[in-house]
Amino acid sequence: AQRVTQPEKLLSVFKGAPVELKCNYSYSGSPELFWYVQYSRQRLQLLLRHISRESIKGFTADLNKGETSFHLKKPFAQEEDSAMYYCALSGGGANNLFFGTGTRLTVIP
């Protein structure tokens, strides 16, 4: 069965410090992994997906199949990064998107 684990409910970092939001998954096939973000008073929106191998707003995430992880990283946190972040998994060809429980990131000025 698919499962997405985000071990940290809350994460606080200082502005300019590196940030890493952890995501681990369990899935027997080839997963597609995503990070979604929800800024205050805004809709949940896709931040990035592993197949794109892109950097969005300075964030990157690498799929590590050996460790079954998809951690989200940014070298220098900004105040505007404060938001709720969700890791999500879709099994290849599946019709469902499974979300983790989310991590609330607060960047302290």
Partner 1 sequence: EAQVTQNPRYLITVTGKKLTVTCSQNMNHEYMSWYRQDPGLGLRQIYYSMNVEVTDKGDVPEGYKVSRKEKRNFPLILESPSPNQTSLYFCASSSTSGGIGKQFFGPGTRLTVL
Q: Is the CB of 27 or the CB of 34 nearer to partner 1?
A: 34
Structure tokens at 16: 């300019």
Contacts with partner 1 by CB under 8 A: the residue count is 23
Q: Of 46-105, which residues contact partner 1 (CB under 8 A)?
A: 46, 49, 86, 88, 90, 92-102
Nearest-angstrom CA–CA distance, 76 and 41: 24
Sequential DSSP letters for 38-70: E-TTS--EEEEEGGGT--BTTBEE--BTTTTB-
Q: Is the CB of 69 or the CB of 78 nearer to partner 1?
A: 69
Which residue of 44, 56, 60, 69 would you call a contact of partner 1, by CB under 8 A? 44
